[in-house]
Structure 1
Amino acid sequence: MKRSIALGIAGFVLAGAAVGYAQFPKTPPTPPLPTAQAARLTAWDFRLTAIDGAPMPLSQYRGKVVLLVNTASFCGFKKQFAGLQQLQDTYAKRGFVLIGVPSGSFKDQEYGSNKEIADHCNTTGIRFPMAEKAPVVGPGALPIYRWAAAKVGGDNTPRWNFHKYLIGRDGRRVTPFGTMTDPSDPKLHEAIEAALKQRA
């Protein structure tokens, strides 16, 4: 009986995720930066704002490998938070940084204020850098997300929370990983390892 209930709950969660993906096409598309402009720029040319309101120029991470992840505190995939922190703990000393971008772009599954998000991170042990809450898709998407959309091309923009962009040491190489790629996925670890071995 308990097993049946557990399977039913798991099926409901997966079905909810599937519905979210199916509904994403209704979200306004993210206009990429013009190709020529995107080619001239690197990730280090962009600025975010930290969750505490401080400037967060990405130039401070020049020469590092960056994993950019749009997060959401109430998403069914929030279990990935722990795995993301593990990635930061594992690779930080080798020149890796994980940046979370809280967003309500998908079903508004994030707290309303940056303070609430910061408090939630503090109580759940999240220590990797967090930007302020911002849209990651649609016309109002952060410029770096519009840049990434132009760099990777195709249908590789975020379709749900916990989408991942791996940015190389040169600030130009961008590799997308979808929501379903768990932080423990060997393919993600292999890509991080490869990026860490490359020169800036």
Structure 2
Amino acid sequence: MKKVIFIFSIIMFFFKTPATANYEKKIYDFSIESITGETINFKDYKNKVILIVNTASYCGFTKQYDELQELWDLYKEKGLIVLGVPSNSFNQEKNNNADIKEFCEVNFNINFPLTTLTEVKGKDAHELFKWAKKNHGKLAEPKWNFHKILINKEGKVQDTFASFTKPTSKKIIKAIENSL
């Protein structure tokens, strides 16, 4: 029996989940610039659930803006923040904030918060994305545009979703509702 417990313990060590991450910081320790130049302090989002999505205007997933707006409209009063993070990390975004903002408003009627053009991966990534990767592992690092990171009310990464997972998928809706 002791041998089985020992082997099980070894196996569990190698398959430990990000939920066991030792967070030195929480999202509330960060800020990011909005698309219009104001500071977005995550401390203002305490006790909220935050869906962070790196976005791009010229991506095949750009139509997901519609569903992100739908999520914002459905859940903002219940405590969900949808945060679009325009990024050219994958070479599919416009070159300046004014053009990005206009594109989002004209084509998708976006009114959820957007950040300034931001790097989301690699050594030049914004500290927020480095923090997510450090605490949740490689699954938190965007592999492509429209990667989603769900932050729970405790300010920790709850889950991540690949680009091809639609914002209004059952998987994301369930995760949001369980976190709210």
Say yes or no: TM over 0.5: yes
Aligned to 1:144: 128
Superposed CA offset, 1:91-115 (max 9, x none): 0110011000000001x11110001
Q: Is the 8 A contact 1:148 1:174 kept in 2?
A: no
Aligned to 1:48: 32
Residue 155 of structure 1 deviates from its aligned partner by: 4.1
Aligned to 1:130: 114
Residue 90 of structure 1 deviates from its aligned partner by: 0.5
Aligned match for 2:100, one of 117, 139, 148: 117
Q: Is the 8 A contact 2:57 2:100 kept in 1?
A: yes
One-letter amino acid matched to 2:106 = T
Q: Per the alignment, in what secondary structure is the counterpart of residue 83 of structure 2?
A: strand
Aligned to 2:11: none
Q: How does 1:27-176 map to 2 (within 5 A)?
A: 39-106=23-90, 108-124=91-107, 125-176=109-160
Residue 40 of structure 1 deviates from its aligned partner by: 1.6
Unaligned runs of 5+ in 1: 1-34
Residue 173 of structure 1 deviates from its aligned partner by: 3.7
Q: Is the 8 A contact 1:66 1:98 kept in 2?
A: yes
Superposed CA offset, 1:55-88 (max 9, x none): 1111111110000000001101111000000000
Separation of aligned partners in 1, 2:105 and 2:61: 19
Separation of aligned partners in 1, 2:141 and 2:105: 29
Separation of aligned partners in 1, 2:137 and 2:105: 35
Superposed CA offset, 1:15-57 (max 9, x none): xxxxxxxxxxxxxxxxxxxx76xx1211011010000011111
Q: Per the alignment, in what secondary structure is the counterpart of residue 175 of structure 1?
A: strand
One-letter amino acid matched to 2:151 = I
1:180 paired to 2:164: yes
Aligned to 1:26: none
Give the ranges of 4+ consecutive aligned residues of structure 1 lying more than 4 Å apart after TM superposition.
Answer: none
Q: Per the alignment, in what secondary structure is the counterpart of residue 176 of structure 1?
A: strand
1:193 paired to 2:173: no
Q: Per the alignment, in what secondary structure is the counterpart of residue 131 of structure 2?
A: helix
Provide the aligned C-alpha RMSD in A.
1.2
Count of aligned pairs between the two proteins: 159
Separation of aligned partners in 1, 2:47 and 2:157: 12
One-letter amino acid matched to 2:156 = R
Q: Per the alignment, in what secondary structure is the counterpart of residue 175 of structure 2?
A: helix
